[in-house]
Structure 1
Amino acid sequence: MNTDIENLFKDTVLGHPVGLFILFFTEMWERFSFYGMRILLILFLTAPMMSDNPGWDWPREHALALIGTYASLLYLTPIVGGWIADKFTGYRIAVIIGCLVMTLGHAAMAFDTTMSFYIGLALLVIGTGFFKPNITSIISEMYKTRESKKDGAYTIFYMGVNAGAFFGMMLCGYLAENYGWHWGFGLAGIFMLLGMLQFMLAHKIFGSIGDKPGRKEEVVLEHTPNETNVEIVEEMQAEIKLNPFTTFDYVLIVLSSIGGLLYLFNDPLDVIYSMSLVPFEIGGMSGTNIVILAALAMFLVLLITRIARYLPIVRDRLIAVTIFALFTVFFFAFFEQSLGSMTLFASDYTDRSLTGNSATIFKIIDGLLTTIPLIIITYVIALIFKKTFTKIGASNIVLAIAFVGVWGLVIFRLYDKFSQTEMTVDATWFGILNSFFIITLAPLFSKWWESKYNPSAAMKYGIGLVLLGVGFAILSYGASDIPPGARTASVSMVFLILAYLFHTMGELCLSPLGLSYLSKLVPARMIGFMFGVWYLAIAVGQKAANTMGGMIDKISEAYSLGTFFLIFAVIPVAVGLISMALNPLLKRLMHGVR
C-alpha cells in the first residue's frame, strides 16, 4: 500500500496527488446531480397541473412528507454501504456501484410517470449509500503516510462538494423552471453518468488503494511486516473484548431499526394515500406513533446500556458525543428548511421580478458568480491534463466533455438572462447561496478556529444554533406583513439572501466540526457504532425538518407565515443558549479534548 501511495504523490497538482482531483471531480458531478435534482423536488411536486410547466399539484404537506423520508434514508443507507465496502467490495468498486445505481435513478426520474419517479428515488437512496461513505474512505487511505496534508486534502475535496452543488442547482434549476421538469432531472442524470465514466477510466491511477478487502490485507502484510502491527491488532482485539456487543444489544439494534424504517415508509403512505402499514390504535394513539416511540425507547436503552459499560473517562466522552448528537438533530431539523419551506418561500412569497438597474446589477453579479469559479476549475483541469493525459487519457476526455457541456449551458443561460430587459430570478437560484457563502466564508472561519479565540465545542454549537435562529428571525420579519392564509406574496429577496447568509455561518460553526469531535472523543472500538449514531441523528433531523415544514399551511392559515418562521427562530436560539450554558459540564465530560 505504501508503494501505491508513494506513486500517487509523484504526480502532484497544487501540492496534492492527481488522484485527489479525480475524486474531486467525481464528487463534484455526483453533488451536481444530487443537489440539482433535490432542489427541484418540492417545486415539481407542488407545481399546478394547469400551468406552463405542470407538476403533480400535491399539497405542500404531502410533498414534504415524501421528501422527509427520502432525505432521511440518504443518511441511513451509507451505514450499510460502508459496511459492504469494508467487508466485500472495497471502496472503489462501491463508488462505481453507487454511481451506476444513481445514474439509473436519475434516468428513471426523467420519465413523467409516478412509478418511474418512485423507482428513481429508491435507486438514488441505494446509490448514495454506496457512494457517500466510500469516496471519502479512499482519500483517507491515500493520505495514510501524509497525515499532515489530510486537512488540506479534505478542504479541496469539500470545495468539489460545494462547486457541484452550486452548478447543479443553478443549471438543473434553470432548465427545469424554464423548459420543463424532465430537462432538469435528465441533466442531473447525464452528469452523474459522466462522473462515473471519468472515475472508472482513471481507476488504474490508484493502484491497490481502495481495492477489495482481501487484497488490501495482503498488501499491508507485504509492505509492513513488523511486530508493531501485531501489537496493534492484539490491542484492538483486547479493547473489543472489554465491551462486546451482546445478544441483547443486537436485538435492540434490529428492533429499533425495523421500527424506525417502518415509521419512515409509513408516514408518507399515511399522509399522501391514507394507507397505513400499522393500522391499529392503542388508547387513542395511532400505530405509527406507537411504533416510533417504541423504536426510540429501545434505541435509548441500547445507547445508555452500552455507554454505561465503559470506564469513567470513555463513558463521559461518549455522553458528550450523545449530547452533541442531540444538538445536531435540532440544527438539521431547522437548517434543512432550505430545500422545503424556504424554497416554497422563494417560489411563492418572494418578489423575484427585476427591471432597470436592479436587473442589470443582478445580471453582472450572477455572471461573475458563475464564470469565475468555472475559470478557476478549468485551470485546474488544464494542470491535470498535463500530468495525466498519457496515463488516463480517456478519463481526461470524459472530463473535458463534461466541462464543455457546463460551459455551454452557462453561456446559454447567461445569454438568455442578458437578453431579457425584464427578468425573473429562478426560485432555485437561491439554493446556490449556501454553497457560495460556504466557499467564501470557510477560510475566515478556519482562521478563527486556528486563533487563540477558538471557542469550545459547546460554544461553537451554541453560536451555530443562534445564527440559524437569527436567519429565521429575518425571514419572519420579512413575512410579517403577509396576511394569514395567503398563498402568494411579494417580499423583497433581500430577506431570503440574508437568511441564507446567517444559516451558512451557523452551518460553518457546527456541521464540519461534528465528525471531527466524534473521531477525537470516541474510542476505536466504538467508532463504527457512534458514526452510525451520528448519521442517525442527521437522518432524524432531516425527517423532522420536513415534518415541521409540512405544517407551513396550517400555521400560516391559523396565524401567519411570519409566525411560522418565528417558531423556527425561537427554538434554535433557545437550544443554542442551552448549549452555551452546558459548556462547563461538557468541558468536564470531554476530559481535555478540544
Structure 2
Amino acid sequence: MSSDAQVGARPPAGRTFFGHPRALSTLFLTEMWERFSFYGMRAILVLYLTATVADGGLGIGESTANAVYGTYNAMVYLMALPGGWVADRLLGARRSVLWGGVVIAAGHYVMAVPTGWSVFAGMALIVLGTGLLKPNISTMVGDLYERDSPRRDAGFSIFYMGINLGAFIAPLVTGFLGEKINWHLGFGAAAVGMTFGVAQYVLGRRNLGDAGARPADPLLGADRRRALTRAGAVTAVLLVVLLGLLLTGWFTVNTVVNLLTAVTVLVTVGYFARILTDREISGTERRRMKAYVWLFVFAAAFWLIYDQAGSVLNIFAADRTDRDVAGFTFPASWLQSVNPILIIIGAPLAAWLWLRLGHRVSTPTKFAVGLVLNGLSFVLMAAAAQAAVGGDLVSPWWLVAVYAIQVAGELSLSPVGLSATTKLAPVKYASQMLGLWFLATAVGDAIGGQVARLAQNWSQSAYFLTFGLASVLLGVAAVMFTRQIRGLMAGIH
C-alpha cells in the first residue's frame, strides 16, 4: 500500500523472468510458498479442530470450529491495514515482507507442536505475519514497473499464477500428511513451505534493486516516537483486556471469536465514517464512496458464502462424500485444490470476456452476477445435502460442480472489485483503499463464521437453501438498483 513515490523503482538489469524483471521470480516464489503454507494449513484446520481427541484432533464442536475458521480468515485480511501502514511509515515493504515471512513460518512451526494450545498460538502468529507480508509483496510487484508500462498487468498476472499454484499444491501435501498420518505433520509441512519461501527471498534480494527498500512516507523524530507510543498503548490495552478475560473466567474460544468479530465490523464502520465525513474530499468523491459502500456490502455478502469452502463444505466433504477411488480413500481436504485450478483455467477466459463486453456491462451488474452464481452454488449444495439424507454418501462431483459455479462468481466480482476500488477511491485515500477492499473479505469471513454456526443446528439442506436463495435475491436487488449505483459512481463504469 505504498504511495506513488516508490512506484517504478528499477531492479538491476540482467536476466529476465518470462520477459519480466528477474525480481519478479523472487516475489513469485515467495508468494507461492506463502500461499502454500496458508492454504495448506487452512485446508485441514477445521478437520483438525472437529476430529476427536482419539483421532488426534481437538474434539471441538462444528459450530465453534466454523466460527474459529471464519474469524481466523477475517483477522488475516484485517491485519492488512496495519501491515500496510508499518511498511509505509516504518519498515518499508521489503523488510515487512521478510519479517512477515519469518513470523508466518514461526506460526506454522508452533502449530506443528503436538499440544492443544499450539494451534491458537500459531494462528495468532500467522495472522500477524500475513498482515505484514500479504499487502506489501503486491506493492513490491508494482514497484518493478513504471506506472504506465504495458508489461505491468502481465507481470501481475504471472504473480497471481504463483498464488493459485501454491494454493493448488498445498492441500494435496498437507491434506495427505494431516488426514492420513498426523495432523501436526500437516501443519509442519506448511511451516517447511514458508521456510523455503523466506530462504529464497533472502537469496534473491540482490534482484530486487530499490523496490520496497525504503518506507514510502517514513515517520521521523517526534512523529515516529508518538506513533510508537500509541502502538504501545494499544498493545497494553489489548493485554489488559486479555488479562481481564483470564481473571474473570471469560477467556474462552467463543468469547474471543465473538469479540474479534465485533472488532472487525466496528473497524469497518469507523473507516467508512472517517472517509465519508472528511471535509477535504470533494462532493463527487463522496458520492463515489457512497456507491462503493454498496459494492462493499455486496462483496462482503459474497465472501460470507464463498469462504465456507474451507469450513462447512470441507466438513461435508469429510462426512458425506464417497471418496473411495480403486480402494484408496483420498483426503477430504484434497477437494480444496479444485478452486485454485479452476481459477487458473478460468481467469484468462474471464479477462477476455470482460474485454469483449467493455462498458456494456457495468460494475454493479458484474457484482450482481457474482452474487447470483454464489447463491446458486449453495442451492446446488442443498440438493447434494438432500441426496445425503439418511447417511448416504454422495459423489464428490457435487462439490466440484459447486466450486466451479463459485469460481465463475469470483471471477465476476473479485478482480472487478479490485479495479473499482482503485477507480472510486478519493485522492486523499488512494493508498489506503486496497486495505479497505481487504476489509470486505474480513467482514464477510467474520460474519460468515458466525452464520456457519447454524450449519450444526439446522438441517444441511435448509441451511444451504436459505443462504443460497438469500444471495440470489441480493444479486437480483443489485441489478434493480444498478442505475442508482451507477449514478453515484459519477462517470466511473
Q: Distance in 1 between matches of 2:334 and 2:116?
A: 27
Output one character per residue of 1:515-543: Cα deviation in whole Å (capped at 9) or x when no partner.
Answer: 21111111221224443432222211011
For residue 277 of structure 1, report the CA deviation from its aligned partner. 11
Do 2:78 and 2:264's aligned partners in 1 also have CA atoms closer than 8 Å?
Answer: no
Match of 1:365 in 2: none
Q: Which of 440, 443, 447 is matched with 2:352 structurally?
A: 447
Output one character per residue of 1:283-315: Cα deviation in whole Å (capped at 9) or x when no partner.
Answer: xxxx99998987777566445423x76433212
Do 1:469 and 1:568's aligned partners in 2 also have CA atoms closer than 8 Å?
Answer: yes
Match of 1:362 in 2: none
Q: Distance in 1 between matches of 2:8 and 2:269?
A: 47
Q: Distance in 2 between matches of 1:191 and 1:569?
A: 36
Do 1:64 and 1:546's aligned partners in 2 also have CA atoms closer than 8 Å?
Answer: yes
The 5 Å alignment of 1:454-465 reads: 455-465=361-371
Q: Distance in 1 between matches of 2:341 and 2:169?
A: 10
Q: What secondary structure does 1:148 align onto?
A: coil
Gaps (5+ residues) in structure 1? Answer: 218-250, 279-286, 356-421
Q: What secondary structure does 1:492 align onto?
A: coil
Q: Distance in 2 between matches of 1:20 and 1:290?
A: 38
Q: Distance in 1 between matches of 2:420 and 2:254?
A: 42
Residues 1:276 and 1:150: Cα distance change in structure 2 (over 3 Å): closer
Do 2:30 and 2:200's aligned partners in 1 also have CA atoms closer than 8 Å?
Answer: yes
Match of 2:374 in 1: 468
**Aligned-partner residue type, residue 183 of structure 1:** L
Q: What secondary structure does 1:113 align onto?
A: coil
The 5 Å alignment of 1:268-283 reads: none
For the pair shown, which has the larger CA radius of gyration, 1 or 2?
Answer: 1
The 5 Å alignment of 1:561-576 reads: 561-576=460-475
Match of 1:236 in 2: none
Do 2:374 and 2:406's aligned partners in 1 also have CA atoms closer than 8 Å?
Answer: yes
Output one character per residue of 1:171-221: Cα deviation in whole Å (capped at 9) or x when no partner.
Answer: 11111111111111001101101110101111112122211238999xxxx
Match of 1:589 in 2: 488
Residues 1:207 and 1:530: Cα distance change in structure 2 (over 3 Å): closer
Q: Which of 17, 20, 29 is matched with 2:24 structurally?
A: 20
Match of 1:494 in 2: 397
Q: Distance in 1 between matches of 2:333 and 2:261?
A: 34
Q: Distance in 1 between matches of 2:262 and 2:367?
A: 32
The 5 Å alignment of 1:540-551 reads: 540-551=443-454
For residue 83 of structure 1, report the CA deviation from its aligned partner. 0.8
Q: Which of 429, 445, 467 is matched with 1:526 structurally?
A: 429
Task: Count matched residues.
Answer: 469
Higher relative contact order (CA 8 A, sep 6+): 2
Output one character per residue of 1:243-281: Cα deviation in whole Å (capped at 9) or x when no partner.
Answer: xxxxxxxx9xx99xx99xx89x99xx9795576899xxx
Q: Distance in 2 between matches of 1:73 and 1:292?
A: 8
Residues 1:104 and 1:65: Cα distance change in structure 2 (over 3 Å): same
Worse-matched range after superposition: 67-76 or 488-497: 488-497
Worse-matched range after superposition: 458-467 or 144-153: 144-153
Q: Distance in 2 between matches of 1:459 and 1:489?
A: 39
Output one character per residue of 1:361-397: Cα deviation in whole Å (capped at 9) or x when no partner.
Answer: xxxxxxxxxxxxxxxxxxxxxxxxxxxxxxxxxxxxx
**Aligned-partner residue type, residue 89 of structure 1:** L
Match of 1:226 in 2: none
Q: Distance in 2 between matches of 1:186 and 1:81?
A: 25
Match of 2:225 in 1: none
Match of 1:438 in 2: 343
Output one character per residue of 1:207-240: Cα deviation in whole Å (capped at 9) or x when no partner.
Answer: 22211238999xxxxxxxxxxxxxxxxxxxxxxx
Output one character per residue of 1:440-465: Cα deviation in whole Å (capped at 9) or x when no partner.
Answer: 01111110011136521011000111
User: TM (normalized to structure 1)?
Assistant: 0.73
**Aligned-partner residue type, residue 331 of structure 1:** F
The 5 Å alignment of 1:29-68 reads: 29-51=33-55, 54-68=56-70
For residue 36 of structure 1, report the CA deviation from its aligned partner. 0.3
Do 1:482 and 1:562's aligned partners in 2 also have CA atoms closer than 8 Å?
Answer: no
Do 1:9 and 1:16's aligned partners in 2 also have CA atoms closer than 8 Å?
Answer: no
Residues 1:550 and 1:345: Cα distance change in structure 2 (over 3 Å): same
Do 2:281 and 2:426's aligned partners in 1 also have CA atoms closer than 8 Å?
Answer: no
Match of 1:426 in 2: 331
Q: Distance in 1 between matches of 2:469 and 2:137?
A: 38
**Aligned-partner residue type, residue 341 of structure 1:** V
Give RMSD over aligned pairs.
3.2
Worse-matched range after superposition: 535-544 or 205-214: 205-214
Gaps (5+ residues) in structure 2? Answer: 220-229
For residue 113 of structure 1, report the CA deviation from its aligned partner. 1.1
User: TM (normalized to structure 2)?
Assistant: 0.87
For residue 551 of structure 1, report the CA deviation from its aligned partner. 1.2
Q: Which of 307, 315, 323 is matched with 1:344 structurally?
A: 315
The 5 Å alignment of 1:393-432 reads: 422-432=327-337
Q: Distance in 2 between matches of 1:79 and 1:293?
A: 14
Do 1:49 and 1:56's aligned partners in 2 also have CA atoms closer than 8 Å?
Answer: yes
Residues 1:328 and 1:271: Cα distance change in structure 2 (over 3 Å): farther
Output one character per residue of 1:16-50: Cα deviation in whole Å (capped at 9) or x when no partner.
Answer: 11111111011000100110011111000001222
Output one character per residue of 1:107-161: Cα deviation in whole Å (capped at 9) or x when no partner.
Answer: 1000111232222111101100110011111111111255221111111001000
Q: Distance in 2 between matches of 1:214 and 1:331?
A: 33
Do 1:46 and 1:63's aligned partners in 2 also have CA atoms closer than 8 Å?
Answer: yes
Q: Distance in 2 between matches of 1:338 and 1:271?
A: 28
Q: Distance in 2 between matches of 1:289 and 1:134?
A: 25
Match of 1:503 in 2: 406
Q: What secondary structure does 2:458 align onto?
A: helix
Do 2:374 and 2:409's aligned partners in 1 also have CA atoms closer than 8 Å?
Answer: yes
**Aligned-partner residue type, residue 313 of structure 1:** T
Match of 2:294 in 1: 323
Q: Distance in 2 between matches of 1:62 and 1:142?
A: 43
**Aligned-partner residue type, residue 138 of structure 1:** M
Do 1:208 and 1:216's aligned partners in 2 also have CA atoms closer than 8 Å?
Answer: no
Do 1:33 and 1:192's aligned partners in 2 also have CA atoms closer than 8 Å?
Answer: yes
Q: Distance in 2 between matches of 1:155 and 1:585?
A: 33
Q: Distance in 2 between matches of 1:17 and 1:141?
A: 11
For residue 581 of structure 1, report the CA deviation from its aligned partner. 1.2
Do 1:4 and 1:207's aligned partners in 2 also have CA atoms closer than 8 Å?
Answer: no
Q: Distance in 2 between matches of 1:68 and 1:2?
A: 35
Worse-matched range after superposition: 63-72 or 6-15: 6-15
Do 1:332 and 1:542's aligned partners in 2 also have CA atoms closer than 8 Å?
Answer: yes
Worse-matched range after superposition: 205-214 or 509-518: 205-214
**Aligned-partner residue type, residue 444 of structure 1:** L
Residues 1:139 and 1:288: Cα distance change in structure 2 (over 3 Å): closer
Residues 1:55 and 1:6: Cα distance change in structure 2 (over 3 Å): closer
Residues 1:7 and 1:350: Cα distance change in structure 2 (over 3 Å): closer
Output one character per residue of 1:480-500: Cα deviation in whole Å (capped at 9) or x when no partner.
Answer: 1444xx6x5402212111000
Q: Distance in 1 between matches of 2:250 and 2:67?
A: 9
